[in-house]
Amino acid sequence: MDAFIRFTNQTQGRDRLFRATQYTCMLLRYLLEANADKEKVVMKLKKLESSVSTGRKWFRLGNVIHAVQSTEQSIHVTDPVPRLCLTLANLNRVVYYICDTILWVRSVGLASGINKEKWQMWANRHYYYFLLLSLARDLYEIALQMGRVSRNKAKRKTSSSQSPRGYSVVDEDTEWLQSFLLLLFQSLKQHPPLLLDTVKNCCDILIPLNQMGVYRSNPGVIGLGGLLSSVAGIITVAYPQMKLKTR
């Protein structure tokens, strides 16, 4: 219970738990909707989802400053490609939070003259750019990691002086794909924070893609994606060593 309390004392921890709840409700609603006699349960899930989603806005208020600070930190990253990707990603995150705050102002009724659809579209777009740039950074890090792993493997091969296996030209393509996938799997296995971050961004990107109409998927897929990314987020909050660090 002590660990649970330490986890929930952090705003991000609580927010990730509520996010997981929100997307679980979405997933369950999709799975139970087909069932006619589960109408009441589906209604309750919808109410829980909407109240948690509304309540989570309170966790996001003031995150503009967090994003500005992250932007400042990412300017000092040593590697140029992650520096560019992260700085642009965080700038998009700042704009996203500004749009989100304006939408919040409208939702509590403080300013009724705000065009909700326009600001929602802007928020979705900038969230999408943020995720795209984060994924670009992840792919770059994966490529680096794969290069490192393959160089280590080559070093071990030359030192153990294995005789190369003979293979035909026909098998070369599938052999290449297999070895590429194996290398990818090994690189990610050796670098769990990178795996978690990639999974989180891949799952998250489905949400703005769906809302912008670029790639419409059903609520079940969105719910599952949201749940997976929330669980990945919970792991990074509970175990800070699993957070992808910038050099």
Instruction: Choose, by CB under 8 A, the member of 26, 34, 42, 57 that binds another protein.
Output: 57
Confirm or reject binding of residue 58 to another protein (CB under 8 A): yes
Q: How far is the CB of 47 from another protein (least distance, A)?
A: 4
Which of 31-39, 48-56, 146-154, 200-208 is the region at the interface with another protein (rule: CB under 8 A)? 48-56
Confirm or reject binding of residue 51 to another protein (CB under 8 A): yes
Question: Which class for 246: exposed (0-12), middle (13-18), buried (19 or more C-beta within 10 A)?
Answer: middle
Confirm or reject binding of residue 2 to another protein (CB under 8 A): yes
Provide DSSP, 36-80: GGGHHHHHHHHHHHHHHHHHHHHHHTTHHHHHHHHHHHHTT-SSH
Q: How far is the CB of 56 from another protein (least distance, A)?
A: 8
Name the strand (E) or helix (H) holding 240.
Answer: none
The structure tokens 């995720």 sit at 131
Confirm or reject binding of residue 122 to another protein (CB under 8 A): no
Confirm or reject binding of residue 246 to another protein (CB under 8 A): no
Task: Say if residues 131 and 201 touch (Cβ distance below 8 Å).
Answer: yes
Q: How far is the CB of 26 from another protein (least distance, A)?
A: 16
Binding positions for another protein, 79-118, rule CB under 8 A: 107-110
Q: How far is the CB of 25 from another protein (least distance, A)?
A: 11
- The site that binds another protein (CB under 8 A) totals a number of residues, namely 32
Confirm or reject binding of residue 11 to another protein (CB under 8 A): yes
Confirm or reject binding of residue 13 to another protein (CB under 8 A): yes
Q: What is the distance between the alpha carbons of residues 127 and 129, in angstroms, rounded to a whole number?
A: 6
In angstroms, what CA-CA distances link 182 with 161, 168, 178, 187? 21, 20, 6, 9
Instruction: Choose, by CB under 8 A, the member of 8, 35, 115, 179 that binds another protein.
Output: 8
Instruction: Choose, by CB under 8 A, the member of 31, 32, 33, 66 that binds another protein.
Output: 66
Task: Say if residues 193 and 242 touch (Cβ distance below 8 Å).
Answer: yes
Confirm or reject binding of residue 238 to another protein (CB under 8 A): no
Q: What is the distance between the alpha carbons of residues 188 and 165, in angstroms, rounded to a whole number?
A: 26
Task: Say if residues 128 and 211 touch (Cβ distance below 8 Å).
Answer: no
Binding site for another protein (CB under 8 A): 1-2, 4-5, 8-14, 18, 44, 47-48, 51-52, 54-55, 57-59, 61-62, 65-66, 68-69, 107-110
